Structures are given as structure tokens and as C-alpha cells.
Structure 1
């Protein structure tokens, strides 16, 4: 495992380039939204629900790295928009479980389709070697995203 804490100029430059590229690409992907009325945080919560399944607001707050009161507000906004439903927790009636609605799932699918098409168009401008390197890097980037 590389130790970059005392990184030389080359390592520092590589980390800086990676951070910058990932942030710029992420911002550009966020602009490919289906529903402009949703904030990036609201979209992220819906994505987390789609990926991980139903969750309590507290679990969502931990996964999204926000404070529980903020998640309560986000969930209320999503519920008002018809994108999530709240149901009693099966074991703790004091809590609620948040689940995406069919409308949210359809919107996420369309969003994924649009973003994938946009990214595929960009990838079409790469050389075969660049595309191979990017395919090989995808699992590593996913690992970093999950750490």
C-alpha cells in the first residue's frame, strides 16, 4: 500500500490531478440531471436508497454524511414531491423507514440513462489505449469512493 503522506513532487502532482479531474467530471455529470428542481443532495439520497434499499433517516444521514436534522428536512422535501414514502419501522415504532417511490425509481433510471449517454459520447473521443486505461481505473475509483 503506497504511503503518500510524505509524497514526493510526483505523488503530490498525481493526487492533485486526480482530485481536480474527479471534481470537474463530477460537476459536469451533475449538470446532466433529469429534474432540475431536485438539489444534488436530494438526488444523492435517492441514489443511496436505490443502491442500499430502504433506510431510516438516521441511517441515511450517516451514509450521506449529513446531520440527522438536515436529513429529516431532505426526506420531508422528497416526500412532499412524491419521491419517497415513510412507513413505520418494523421493530421500532418510534422510527420511520424511508423508501423510494416508483416515480423516484423511474426518474433515477432516466437520469442514469442520460448521464451514461453523455459520458459515452465523451468516451467516444478517447483513443483505444485511453479507454482501456479508464476501464481498468473504474474499479479502483469505485474502491476510493467507498472508503
Structure 2
């Protein structure tokens, strides 16, 4: 009769960037500064697009959604990295790991979908420039909905 291991897996150990404790504050500050710059930059672009009525066209609508998806994408991973560096604990629970992987896949798929829609928008603008002013409002407002007055 073969024996089996009945150990339950409760957490996953993440690989550390470095085992040198002297570099941990440098890595933490580097990741934190990159995270804050990315977060603030994306938020400023979203604010600029939403506050200027001249930028309420499909291209900028899709760009602001792309920046929002980017904020969500980096927020699923970077805070856990920062917490692990600060606590010097390279573990994550299985539930946390699974939810992080699912979030990364969802927001990565959302970004890819937005890239595809943006590519189609640019295709229509380049290949059918005379019809783009007629097709453009239909991208944001499907038939049957009310179009905003310009």
C-alpha cells in the first residue's frame, strides 16, 4: 500500500528579488515611486479627458478606459509586492494568489479588448475618413440611444 502526503497547502512562497536585507529599502522605494508615478499619471490623464469637452470623442473615451484598466491592473499586484518587501515575508495565501491571478487575467483581457476596439476606431478613421464623422458617434452611442448635442 502506497503512502500519501496529506499536507494541506495553505500558502504559496513568492521568489524574492534579492536576499540582501540592505537592498530591501531601495527596492521598496523604487517600486513605491514607480507605482505612485503610474497611478498619478493615469489619474491625471483620466481627469484631463473627463474635464475637457473637446476630448469627448471615442479615441479619448477608449484611452481613459485603458488608463483605468491599467490602474486596476497594477493595483492587483504592486501593493502585495510592497507589503511582502516591507514585512520581509514572501508568502501569499492560496486564495490571495488565485484572486490575484484572476484579477490580472481579467484586467489584462480588458486591456487587450480595449486595444482591439481602439485599433478598429483608428482603422475606420484612416480607411474611411469621409464616413468617420458619421460612424464615430455610433461607436459610443449605439442606434436607439440619444446623442449628446455638440
**Structure with higher helix content:** 2
- What is the TM-score of this pair, normalised by structure 2? 0.29
